[in-house]
Amino acid sequence: MSAFKCGLIAIVGRPNVGKSTLLNRLVGFKLSIISSRPQTTRHKILGVLSEDERQFVFVDTPGYQQRHRSALNRLMNKQIQSALAEVDAVLWLIDARRLTAEDRQLIPLLPASRPVILAMNKVDALSDRNRLLPMIDSVRKLHPFAEIVPISAESGDNVEALKNAVAAHLPDAPAMFDADTVTDRSERFLAAEYVREKLFRRLGEEIPYGTAVQIERFEQGDGQRRIAAVIWVDRPAHKRIVIGQGGEALKAVASAARRDMEESFGGKVFLEVWVKVKSGWANDERAALSLSGE
């Protein structure tokens, strides 16, 4: 009989390559928030996939970049480094269409003593599939990869093959989590994240990255949840943008977030969302709130 296998796998890469889309696809649950804007993910989050003889514990991380050096970015980069320090294998994601300078910045962080699997994502968006082979040939030189796997996290194309490539590197170890656990994060954390996702998606460039979401109240009973969230913004002008004409923008954000909560948590959710201004944050204070989400 083969021994049970379990391991920790960090998903790393520059902002916007599809790390969170891949995590959700792998575990089959909406854990990590996704948007077309870079630096959507701010916190490390675990996603657990349990199968008969093995358990994968994936860690989604913020996109790695060195261009913006705010307190929040420093904390985000630290999370990537700490995720890389403790894993059994690394999944490095790039966009199959191009390798950028930002992608290359991550190479020095790849551990020499652990298997690194390169996933070339977004193959669905390649205009010419013939470009894939020469691209694989050139990325092969960047690091002694254990495997190189082209995938589409969005369509699911080849994600099963990627999972099996990772499985080959899981050590013999007992499960870290119960078979029915999908994440280390609380519903309260996910609730704040769903609100932040809708803000990122709907309000686009107008919304400064300084925005933070805090859950003020989370009550549960009779299969229902009553949740109150605050969106913190820097200035009264930002508050007006988040609320929108006649409150339309805020209503749309709140009802989309509520639908996600109902689907993920199961059961009815009553969600109130308030927008509050807090100016003159110390950089570190805002970074801490942005990261805690609670």
- Pick between residue 20 and residue 50 the one whose CB is nearest to ligand GTP: 20
Selection from Mg ion, ligand GTP, none that 291 binds (CB < 5 to 8 A by kind) is none
- Pick between residue 30 and residue 238 the one whose CB is nearest to ligand GTP: 30
Backbone angles phi, psi at 76, to 5 degrees: -65, -45
- Pick between residue 56 and residue 64 the one whose CB is nearest to ligand GTP: 64
Largest CA distance in the chain: 64
Nearest distance, CB of residue 217 and ligand GTP, angstroms: 27
Nearest distance, CB of residue 282 and ligand GTP, angstroms: 25
User: Could you list the residues that contact ligand GTP (CB under 6 A)?
Assistant: 13, 15-21, 34-36, 38-41, 62-63, 121-122, 124-125, 152-154
Sort 73 into a burial class: Cβ within 10 Å, 0-12 / 13-18 / 19+: buried
Nearest distance, CB of residue 22 and ligand GTP, angstroms: 7
How many Å apart are CA 51 and CA 233, to the nearest integer? 42
How many Å apart are CA 280 and CA 226, to the nearest integer? 31
- Pick between residue 42 and residue 286 the one whose CB is nearest to Mg ion: 42
User: Could you list the residues that contact Mg ion (CB under 5 A)?
Assistant: 19-20, 40-41
Nearest distance, CB of residue 18 and Mg ion, angstroms: 8
Closest to 13 (Cα-Cα) out of 66, 92, 69? 92
How many Å apart are CA 37 and CA 68, to the nearest integer? 15
